[in-house]
Amino acid sequence: MRRRTPPPPAPLPQRDGVDPVRVRLPVGGAWATVREHLVERLTGAGPGMVEAMFAAGQVFGADGRAVPPDAPYRPGMYVWFHRELPAEEPVPFPVEVVYRDEHIVVADKPHFLATTPRGSHVAQTALARLRHELGLPALTAAHRLDRLTAGLVLFTVRPGERGAYQTLFRDRRVRKEYEAVAPYDPSLTLPRTVRSRIVKERGVPAAREIPGEPNAETRVELAGHRAGLGRYRLLPATGQTHQLRVHLAALGVPILGDPLYPEVTGPVPAGDFRRPLQLLARRLEFTDPVTGTHHAFTSGRELRAWTSYADWSGESRPPG
């Protein structure tokens, strides 16, 4: 099997921790110029945006030179450019570095901050911030947490080693422990292991459970309860999208602050950082595939609905 030739290195530096966009011109098509292809391909960039980029000399080839507007189309050619970043509401919470060596960075991510650039969240992500703050432009994420979930995330320093750390998660050789605050139900028998089949359809905000062979497994334990609230310890054996949120909602104890489960509610306005989802990636434990060192990390964050429900909710006591 012939190995795929890797793309050439980017001729542009990162901007605020965000990589330039790389486009490879496909084989086939009737485009006469590079510009014509990008106008058709980047329809979401806005009218006149591509022409303005070419006029300003902001589209570059692998040789580091600006691509002129009349440059002929060449299948397989790579071009790079920096996209205009969306207007993002700054997330006013720091990303804490729990551990750092020459191979990995373990960060304690706050609620509301995406792990990696995606959709409308680009510069306001843990990855972009850490690249900029630590001076590590090659930093990459070995896995992800939901934007609304806080806690520990593993990043890799060297691109060539990323696959080894991602394999840890794929092969379930990372012990992950989460903590959640949700209503307390005295009739719910715990501990228990929840198994179900979860699907997440593209463009649909919430995942759902369907009949079929289970692809998601979570051990649920009760760590404590008071005043109608439970503090739950969650040990996922798998990593399906929104798995913990889906499983607790299915048990009748949806996580506090969840805008999707059990029902999708209206979007929270940008800049509203009240009532964060009460879900925290508390611990990560694994044997480093590069150094052989055994690591066990614990988040220093607390779930406010448990430590002070009134502070989290603005109400004097939990409902019910």
Phi, psi for residue 304 in degrees, rounded to 5: -65, -30
Are the CB atoms for 80 and 59 separated by under 8 Å?
yes
Residues 6+ apart with CB under 8 A from 302: none
**Chain position carrying tokens 């099997």:** 1
* HSE (side-chain half, CA atoms, 13 Å) at 300: 9
146 is catalytic: yes
Q: Which of 16, 70, 101, 146 is catalytic?
A: 146
Residues 6+ apart with CB under 8 A from 276: 111, 112, 148, 150, 257, 304, 312
**Nearest residue to 113 via CA among 123, 126, 122:** 126
For residue 193, with 0-12 CB atoms within 10 Å meaning exposed, 13-18 middle and 19 or more buried, which class applies?
exposed
SS3 316: coil
The CA distance from 287 to 167, in Å, is: 12
- Residues known to be catalytic: 146
